[in-house]
Amino acid sequence: MDINYKEIGKRMAKRRKELSLKQYQVCEMIDVNYKYISNLETGRSAPSLEVIMKLCTALQTTPDYLLIGIGSGNGGTPDELLIKKISRLSPKDRRIINGLVDLMTQEE
């Protein structure tokens, strides 16, 4: 499977614009220089795994969205994604999940 850096860059730019962020703001958030963000968005540079993860946090999205376009750009934080998944469960399954969370969060 070939990695299409231009498509990754397009998704980055799209998500940044959805959040009304400027490139320099994203640079500050992930601690890189302005030229690097520009190169990422145009597909001239390939992001490291560390940069991908920082971008996901800054752009409030998931690696799946940035890398392969699965899901929506505004998929949300991991907590929000979990809430969406749980909300699609049946009431019985939600009670089971709730019980599991109760067990996992009990103080020892």
DSSP secondary structure of 10-65 = HHHHHHHHHTT--HHHHHHHHT--HHHHHHHHHTSS---HHHHHHHHHHTT--HHH
Which residue ranges make up each domain of the chain? Answer: 5-76, 77-108
23 and 34 Cβ atoms separated by less than 8 Å: yes
| Domain 5-76: CATH architecture, name and number where available | Orthogonal Bundle (1.10)
> Does the reported pTM lie above 0.85?
no
In the numeric block, which tokens belong to residue 45?
Answer: 């540079």
The model's pLDDT over 37-75, given as tens digits with 9 standing for 90+, comes to 999 999 999 999 999 999 999 998 888 889 988 876 555
